[in-house]
Amino acid sequence: MAVIEAEHLSKRFGKKVLAVDDVSFSIEPATITGFLGPNGAGKTTTLRMLVDLVRPSGGTIRILGSRYRDLARPTTRVGALLDASGFHPGRSGANALRVVATSAGISYDRVDAALEMVELEGAARRAVKGYSTGMKQRLALAAALLGDPEVLLLDEPANGLDPEGVRWLRTFLRARAAEGRTVLISSHVLAEVEQTVDDILIISRGKLLAHGPINELTRTAQPVVRARAPQAEKLEGLLVAKGAAVNRLGDALAIRGPGSAEVGEIAHAGGLVLHELLTEQPSLEDLFLQIAGTRKES
Amino acid sequence: MSALLRAELLKLRSTRTALGMGIAAALVTILPAVLLIAFLPKSTIGGDQAPGILTAGSSLVTYILLVFGILGMTGEYRHGTITYTYLATPRRGRVIVVKLVVYALVGCVAMLLALLLANLIGVIGLPMRGVSYPAPDGAALADYARQIVTAGLITAFGVALGALFRAQVVTVAGTLIWALMIEPLIVVFKPHIGAWLPFNVFSQVISLRIGDTGSAAEGLSRPEAFLVSIGYIAAVSVLAVFISMRRDVT
Ligand SMILES: Nc1ncnc2c1ncn2[C@@H]1O[C@H](COP(=O)(O)OP(=O)(O)OP(=O)(O)O)[C@@H](O)[C@H]1O
Ligand SMILES: [Mg+2]
Residues A116 and A226 in one domain: no
Enter the ipTM. Answer: 0.90
Q: What strands, in cross-sheet order, belong to the sheet with A78-81?
A: A78-81, A151-155, A182-186, A32-36, A199-204, A207-213
pLDDT score at A215: 87
Could you tell me if residue B249 is inside a domain? no
Res. B210: pLDDT tops 70:
no
Residues pairing with A153 in the sheet: A80, A184
Provide mean pLDDT across the span A92-97: 97
Provide mean pLDDT across the span A279-289: 83
Q: CA Rg, chain B, in Å?
A: 19
pLDDT score at A295: 47
Res. A22: pLDDT tops 80:
yes
pTM, full prediction = 0.89
Number of separate domains in chain B: 1
Residues A16 and A121 in one domain: yes
More confident residue, A40 or B43: A40
- Interface contact B248-A85, CB threshold 8 A: no
Res. B51: pLDDT tops 90:
no
Residues A205 and A253 in one domain: no
Calpha distance A231→A237 (Å, rounded): 10
pLDDT score at B231: 95
Residues A86 and A101 in one domain: yes
Residues of B in contact with A100 (CB under 8 A): 84, 88
Could you tell me if residue A227 is inside a domain? yes
Per-residue confidence band for B217, with pLDDT thresholds at 50, 70 and 90: very low
pLDDT score at B209: 47
Residues of A in contact with B15 (CB under 8 A): 88, 90-91
Number of separate domains in chain A: 2
Could you tell me if residue A294 is inside a domain? no
pLDDT score at B157: 97
* C-alpha pair distances (Å), A82 with each of A47, A253, B96: 8, 41, 22
Ligand 1, atom 17: closest residue by C-alpha: A44
Res. A206: pLDDT tops 90:
yes
Burial class (CB in 10 A: 0-12, 13-18, 19+), A77: middle
Residues of A in contact with B88 (CB under 8 A): 74-75, 100, 103-104
Q: Verify whether ligand 1 is closer than 6 Å to residue A39 (CB atom).
A: yes
Residues of A in contact with B248 (CB under 8 A): 13, 48, 53-55
Per-residue confidence band for A285, with pLDDT thresholds at 50, 70 and 90: confident
CATH number, domain with residue A32? 3.40.50.300
CA of A19 to the centre of ligand 1 (A): 6
Res. A296: pLDDT tops 80:
no
Could you tell me if residue B151 is inside a domain? yes
pLDDT score at B211: 39
Tell me: the pLDDT tens digits for A170-201? 999 999 999 999 999 999 888 888 889 999 99
CA of A291 to the centre of ligand 1 (A): 20
Residues A189 and A266 in one domain: no
What kind and span of H or E run contains B151? helix B138-165
Could you tell me if residue A31 is inside a domain? yes
CATH number, domain with residue A241? 3.30.70
Domain-terminating residue out of A187, A219, A251: A219
Q: What percent of chain A has pLDDT over 90?
A: 78
Q: Which atom of ligand 1 is nearest to the CA of A188?
A: 25
Calpha distance B44→B63 (Å, rounded): 27
Res. B213: pLDDT tops 50:
no
Could you tell me if residue A118 is inside a domain? yes
Could you tell me if residue B189 is inside a domain? yes
Whether the CB-CB separation of A184 and A82 falls below 8 Å is answered with no
Which ligand minimizes its atom distance to the CA of A54?
1
DSSP per-residue letters across B75-129? HHHHHTTHHHHHHH---HHHHHHHHHHHHHHHHHHHHHHHHHHHHHHHHHHHHHT
pLDDT score at A83: 76
Note the Cα B192 to chain centre separation in Å.
24
DSSP per-residue letters across chain A? --SEEEEEEEEEETTTEEEEEEEEEEE-TT-EEEEE--TTSSHHHHHHHHTTSS--SEEEEEETTB-GGGSSSGGGTEEEE-TT----TTSBHHHHHHHHHHHHT--HHHHHHHHHHTT-GGGTTSBGGG--HHHHHHHHHHHHHTT--SEEEEESTTTT--HHHHHHHHHHHHHHHHTT-EEEEE-S-HHHHHHH-SEEEEEETTEEEEEEEHHHHHHHSPPEEEEE-TTHHHHHHHHHHTT-EEEEETTEEEEESS-HHHHHHHHHHTT---SEEEEEPPPHHHHHHHHHHHHHH-
CA of A42 to the centre of ligand 1 (A): 6
pLDDT score at A84: 66
Residues A247 and A102 in one domain: no
How do A252-256 and A245-249 pair as beta strands?
antiparallel
Could you tell me if residue B64 is inside a domain? yes
Could you tell me if residue A187 is inside a domain? yes
Residues A145 and A260 in one domain: no
Residues A201 and A254 in one domain: no
The pLDDT mean for chain B works out to 91
Provide mean pLDDT across the span B150-167: 96
Tell me: the pLDDT tens digits for A133-165? 999 999 999 999 999 999 999 999 998 899 999
pLDDT score at A288: 86
The pLDDT mean for chain A works out to 92
Could you tell me if residue A8 is inside a domain? yes
Could you tell me if residue A289 is inside a domain? no
Could you tell me if residue A292 is inside a domain? no
Calpha distance B83→B70 (Å, rounded): 18
More confident residue, A292 or A294: A292
Residues A37 and A95 in one domain: yes
Helices B168-177 and B58-79 cross at an angle (nearest 10°) of 160
Could you tell me if residue B250 is inside a domain? no
Whether the CB-CB separation of A116 and A83 falls below 8 Å is answered with no
Amino acid at B198: P
Q: Which atom of ligand 1 is nearest to the CA of A20?
A: 14
How do A276-280 and A224-228 pair as beta strands?
antiparallel
Query: Which residue range is the domain that position B85 belongs to?
Result: 2-244
Tell me: the pLDDT tens digits for B96-124? 999 999 999 999 999 999 999 999 999 99
Q: How many CA atoms lie within 13 A of A280 on its CB side?
A: 16
Residues A231 and A190 in one domain: no
Task: Give the nearest partner residue to A90 out of B15, B80, B249, using CB atoms.
Answer: B15
Ligand 1 binding pocket mutation candidate from A10, A11, A13 (most atoms within 8 A of CB):
A13
Interface test with A, best of B2, B5, B83, B168 (most A CBs within 10 A): B83
- Interface contact B83-A85, CB threshold 8 A: yes
Q: What percent of chain B has pLDDT over 70?
A: 96
Amino acid at A177: A
Could you tell me if residue B9 is inside a domain? yes
Could you tell me if residue B36 is inside a domain? yes
Res. B5: pLDDT tops 70:
yes
CA of B163 to the centre of ligand 2 (A): 25
How do A207-213 and A199-204 pair as beta strands?
antiparallel
Query: Which residue range is the domain that position A229 belongs to?
Result: 222-281
Could you tell me if residue B220 is inside a domain? yes
More confident residue, B250 or A27: A27
Calpha distance B214→B237 (Å, rounded): 29
Interface test with A, best of B9, B87, B98, B102 (most A CBs within 10 A): B87
More confident residue, A223 or A151: A151
Residues A150 and A193 in one domain: yes
Tell me: the pLDDT tens digits for A51-64? 999 999 999 999 99
Residues A96 and A235 in one domain: no
Res. A244: pLDDT tops 70:
yes
Helices B92-128 and B138-165 cross at an angle (nearest 10°) of 140
